[in-house]
Amino acid sequence: MANLKVDIDPNSGFCFGVIYAIEMAEEILDDQGYLYCLGDIVHNDEEVKRLEDKGLKIITHETLKTLTNERVLIRAHGEPPATYDIALQNNLELVDASCPVVLKLQNRIKNSYDKKEKIYIYGKHGHAEVIGLLGQTNNNAVVFQDFSELELDQLPENVTLYSQTTKSTKSFYSITEKLREAGKNVIANDTICRQVSNRDEDLRKFAAKYDKIIFVSGTKSSNGKVLYNVCKETNPNTYFISNKSEIIPDWFSKGDTIGICGATSTPMWLMEEVKEELERLQ
């Protein structure tokens, strides 16, 4: 027997925004038998498949334009104003599960845009949340993933800086400082979700307690990539998997202590499956 000692991080798993969206979806699925959802309800393929088996139908924005007289779930990432316009035109009932933190951020960006501020958003190109944020500015804001993308000599003197809610606070403040060192007047709006950012410190403490760490996340999750790197920095023996089938027994030695953790988009049931699989290793 491998005799592995396995624990799941109690602070890992869905953030409240994702829990809210999934609870809304399941309630309608139980009542109606099907529900359209605009994009993946969560960036985790295993959870999406579970809900698809219950009747969730994932659609694109192009498909949305062809629907009429239906209910459509808006996921936690939020949507740009154009989506709501389509819903009005097509008599669609939107079940809006946008995360309150994201909605607050959208409103702040809209207010800055109305004041004609030069808006820069630290976020992932093409990410669903970022598309919704851009929509508040008629797509006139500048999105960048890394400071190196910015051409400092081309930037205006006054910059209003925002961030995707799941980015690293450390990186955000580093970017703010670099812009100021370059002589820019920066209005820095720390719009990062604390339920996400506070996990950095908690995960470092968790990862340091074990011989090996198994980080469970969907490959599409931006938050998953950030938190995986947090674990890896703390404990080099950290392995990224999306489900139990990706476990490689050779990673472990007899009697290892194993910590399992995950992203804000990782369901607890998936981490529990991984724990059971590890405990079965011979």
Provide the 10 A C-beta neighbour count for residue 78: 26
Given 129, 149, 201, 246, which residue is catalytic?
A: 129
129 is catalytic: yes
Residues 6+ apart with CB under 8 A from 281: 2, 4, 247, 249, 252
Determine the 3-state secondary structure of 266 from DSSP: coil
Which residues are catalytic, by number? 129
